[in-house]
Amino acid sequence: MQSFFAYQSPQSEAAFAGAAARFFELLKTFAAQPPGVPGQPTDWTSFGATLAGQFEQWLRSAPAAGAAFAAAAGLPPGAGTWPPGPVPLGPAAAMGADATAWELLMKLGQLQGQLAQHWSEIASSAAQLFLARMRTRPSAELSSESALALYELWVECAEEAYAATVRREDFSHLQAQLTNTAMALLLAQRRQAESLARAWGLPTREEADALQRQIRELREELDRRAARPSQGTAPQAAPARSRRASKGGAKGGAKGGAKGGAKGGATGAGRRRRGAARSKPR
């Protein structure tokens, strides 16, 4: 079944290419700084804003669970401004969102804005940390190896600044609110789609859930019957399918007797797959 979530994990090649591109962009930023006076620390002050800007942009585009929920609800990733502009509403787009959905959408946009403020704060704080540590270093000509060392220092500062913010209660609270609101919005959109489906006589999620619950209850009943100690007679009024499944369950335990039978592969799928041919290394 198609997932409602639109979030895609990064493809490896794209991840490498992206990391390489950002790395060299950062190195170019390092290299673009005016050379310092020999024997004196380089003045990196003008460098801070560029560095923070690059980092903030990346933070906004990096995957995060809350953002993934928001994206699934139709809010563009990294949307940090309010109002966010025209927003696709997924399945509800054709019929228009009801008041609840709009309220949730507005709230989601506001929360995204608050999240963007945190990204901005983290980026700025990372750049300040980096600059402070750079000032304590003697000036040296930028080579590949020193650039790599600078990069490692930058990563250290970035993670430190990130951790300082994301470990705070207000960030955790915001993260949860963002995810909860995005989920609530998705469910509101789903309700709209459900009402339309019901009007058209189409099966709904609600009906599918009800059926699943019934199947689950039946399975539990089968398990209970299969687990009962043998009383010498077949379970009374057990439908044919149940009897077959119970038999399969008894077999499934191999030498486990009744104990094994109780748990041992009561399903047809289990019987089919049992003793399957050796699987090849993947």
Partner 1 sequence: MSVPGAGASSPFSDLGVRVAETLARLRLAGGVTVGCSARRAVWSRGKTTLYRYDPITEPIRGARPLLVCFALVNRPYILDLQPDTSLLRRLLASGRSVYLLEWGDPDEGDRLQDLNDYLEHGLGGCMQHLLGTHSLDAIDLMGVCQGGVFTLCYSALHPTQVANLVTLTTAVDFQTSGDLLSKWVRELDTQLLERMGNVPGELLNALFLSLLPFRLMQQKYVRLLTGRADQRAVEDFVRMERWIFDSPPQAATALAQFVRWFYQENRLVRGTLELGGRVVDLKAVRQPLLNLYASADHIVPPAACEAMGRLIGSRDYTAAAIDTGHIGMYVSRKAREEIPQRIIAWLEARSGGRARRGA
| Residues 150-209 within binding reach of partner 1 (CB under 8 A) | 151-152, 155, 158-159, 162-163, 166-167, 169, 172-173, 175-177, 179-180, 183-184, 186-187, 208-209
**Residue 83 or 195 having the CB closest to partner 1:** 195
**Angle, CA of 118, 124 and 128, to the nearest 5°:** 140
3-state secondary structure of 258: helix
Count interface residues toward partner 1 (CB under 8 A). Answer: 91
CA 275 to chain centre: 37
The CA distances from residue 5 to 69, 242, 264, in Å, are: 7, 37, 35
**Residue 61 or 83 having the CB closest to partner 1:** 61
Q: Which stretch binds partner 1 (CB under 8 A): 34-42, 102-110, 192-200, 215-223?
A: 215-223
Least distance CB 266 / partner 1 (angstroms): 7
What is d(CA 177, CA 165) in angstroms, rounded to the nearest whole number?
16
DSSP for residue 82: S
Least distance CB 28 / partner 1 (angstroms): 5
Least distance CB 275 / partner 1 (angstroms): 7
259 binds partner 1 (CB under 8 A): yes
Residue 261 in tokens: 């039978």
Least distance CB 9 / partner 1 (angstroms): 4
122 with 162: CB under 8 angstroms?
yes
86 with 125: CB under 8 angstroms?
no
**Residue 83 or 228 having the CB closest to partner 1:** 228
270 binds partner 1 (CB under 8 A): yes
**Residue 43 or 223 having the CB closest to partner 1:** 223
**Residue 10 or 96 having the CB closest to partner 1:** 10
**Residue 84 or 252 having the CB closest to partner 1:** 252
Q: Which residues of 153-180 are buried (b: 16+ CB within 10 A; e: fewer)?
A: ebeebbeebbeeeeeeeebeebbebbbe
Residues 2-31 that bind partner 1 (CB under 8 A): 3-5, 7-10, 12-13, 15-17, 19-25, 27-28, 31
Residues 53-92 that bind partner 1 (CB under 8 A): 58-59, 62-65, 67-69
3-state secondary structure of 17: helix
The count of other CB atoms within 10 Å of the CB of residue 59 is 20
